[in-house]
Amino acid sequence: MTEQRVAVVTGASRGIGRAIATTLAASGLDVVVGYAGSRTAADEVAAEIIRSGGRAVIAQADVADEKAVAAMFDLAESTFGGVDVVVNSAGRMSLAPLAELDLAELDELHRTNIRGTFVVAREAARRLRDGGAIVTLSSSVLGLRLPTYSAYAASKGAVEAITLILARELRGRDITVNTVAPGPTATELFLDGKDEQTVDRMAKQPPLERLGTPADIARVVAFLAGPEGRWVNGQLLRANGGIV
Whether the CB-CB separation of 229 and 27 falls below 8 Å is answered with no
Report how far residue 63's alpha carbon sits from residue 25's, in angstroms, rounded to the nearest whole number: 22
For the chain, the first-to-last Cα distance in angstroms comes to 45
Report how far residue 23's alpha carbon sits from residue 48's, in angstroms, rounded to the nearest whole number: 11
Catalytic member of 152, 187, 237, 238: 152
The string of DSSP letters for 202-213 reads HHTSSTT-S-B-
DSSP H or E segment with residue 71: helix 66-80
Residue type, 74: D
The string of DSSP letters for 116-161 reads HHHHHHHHHHHHPPTT-EEEEE--THHHHT-TT-HHHHHHHHHHHH
CA of residue 81 relative to chain centroid, distance: 22
Report how far residue 97's alpha carbon sits from residue 211's, in angstroms, rounded to the nearest whole number: 24
Report how far residue 177's alpha carbon sits from residue 21's, in angstroms, rounded to the nearest whole number: 18
152 in active site: yes
CA of residue 204 relative to chain centroid, distance: 25
Residues with active-site annotation: 152
